[in-house]
Amino acid sequence: MGSIGATNGNDSNVKACSPFTGAKRLRELLKDPSKVVICPGVFDGFTARLAIAAGYDAMYMTGAGTSMSKLGWADLGIATLDDMRGNAEMIASLNPSVPLIADADTGYGGPVMVTRTVTQYARAGVAALHIEDQVQEKRCGHLLGKQIVDRDIYFSRLRAAVLARDQLQSDIVIIARTDARQTYGFDEAIERLQEAVKIGVDVVFLEALQTKEEMEKVCKIMGDTPVLLNVVPGGVTPEYAVEEVSKMGFRIIIYPGLCIGPLLESVSKELKVLQTTGKASPKSSAGGVKEAFNLCGLQECIDIDKQAGGKAYSTVGQ
């Protein structure tokens, strides 16, 4: 299975020299059947920088995190194509050799809009995206009350996505996601994904699996087609360690809420400290800000300016 710390995310110059970037890199990772691609959920430049520095092989841009961080609203289908593509483009650009898998919801409309979504994501440097079968007024995959479109509508979305990928001659990875398990059962979800493979998608994603048996079964049924697992602590899918999930046969594991909970807890605590004591905690010192600046490219900017003969940042790093 894949190593979480396999690359040195702090050495951006070395990684930039990789022969693979974005989608090509992800496809190369998926060629190895013993490899599982572990993707922490990120939603802005800061969380993406932290994931890159930690050395992850790939990242996942969560739609829920994007909606909450960019718009301040829960994941209820409020974010638009422009919201999602803009955020994905920014994250993907931070280190193009670290593949970004991005939520693309329902594709934001009919077949024409789906082709537009795939085109914009591909040109933004996104390595992979997933299209789902919820109605346009969608919600987070682990919430109750999801409404699912008919097969014909879902398949038309996937055909449009595959058509756009092929017409662009792009390596972007198309992931078919189905939320049909909750409403119509496991067998219906499987049949939708089997047809999705015939249409030409690259990866399948059965959202909200409910038992270990279902988890093992979907991987067995899908055979050589890579299967993605969504890990949401407290959600309907049982949570297992990476090693066990890899043995089940999953090839990509995403953790959409990985950064959301710690951020909520730590920032809420710091705000309370200031409110109750009248001063910030020592952890909120200027040293922490400098560390964050370095994480987010301060030294690279200083080096570029120096190499270009500039003096704008000559004292910044002192």
Q: Are the C-beta atoms of residues 131 and 155 closer than 8 Å to each other?
A: no
Q: Given 57, 75, 133, 179, which residue is catalytic?
A: 75
Which residue among the candidates 56, 87, 103, 214 is catalytic per the annotation? Answer: 103
Catalytic residue among 57, 132, 179, 202: 132
Confidence check: pLDDT of 217 > 50: yes
Burial zone of 301 (CB within 10 Å; 0-12 exposed, 13-18 middle, 19+ buried):
middle
Tell the burial category of 12 from Cβ atoms under 10 Å away from its Cβ (0-12, 13-18, 19+).
Answer: middle
pLDDT band at 240 (very low <50, low <70, confident <90, very high): very high
pLDDT of residue 225: 98
For residue 27, indicate whether it is catalytic: no
Pick the range with the lowest mean pLDDT from 10-19, 41-50, 97-106, 228-237. Answer: 10-19
Known active-site residue 207: yes
Q: Rounded to an integer, what distance in angstroms lies between the CA atom of residue 124 and that of residue 83? A: 13
Q: What are the structural domains of the chain? A: 12-263 (3.20.20.60), 285-318 (no CATH)
Active-site option among 133, 230, 255, 259: 230
Catalytic residue among 60, 108, 154, 255: 60
139 is catalytic: no
Q: Once rounded to an integer, what is the mean pLDDT over residues 195-201?
A: 98
- Whether 103 is catalytic is yes
Of 216 and 317, the structure prediction assigns the larger pLDDT to 216
Measured CA to CA, the distance from residue 74 to residue 140 in angstroms comes to: 9
Q: H or E element: which one contains 25?
A: helix 22-30
Residue-level pLDDT at 111 = 97
Q: Which amino acid is at 295?
A: L
Q: Is 301 a catalytic residue?
A: no
Residue 292 above 60 pLDDT?
A: yes
Q: Is 95 noted as a catalytic residue in this protein?
A: no
pLDDT given for residue 289 in this prediction: 84
Which whole number is the average pLDDT over 114-140? 90
Write down the pLDDT at residue 9: 39
Name the amino acid, one letter, at 244.
E
Residue closest to 214 by CA, chosen among 242, 240, 241: 240
Active site residue: 165, 207, 255, 259, which one?
A: 207
Q: What is the mean pLDDT of the chain?
A: 90
- pLDDT score of 312: 82
Start-to-end C-alpha separation, the chain = 42
Give per-residue pLDDT as tens, 1-17. Answer: 333 333 333 333 333 33
Which of the two residues, 254 and 141, has the higher pLDDT score? 254
pLDDT digits (tens, 9 = 90+) for 77-124: 899 999 999 999 999 999 999 999 999 999 999 999 999 999 999 999
- Of 139, 157, 165, 177, the active-site residue reads 177
CA–CA dist 120, 122 (Å, integer): 5
pLDDT of 143 > 90? The answer is no
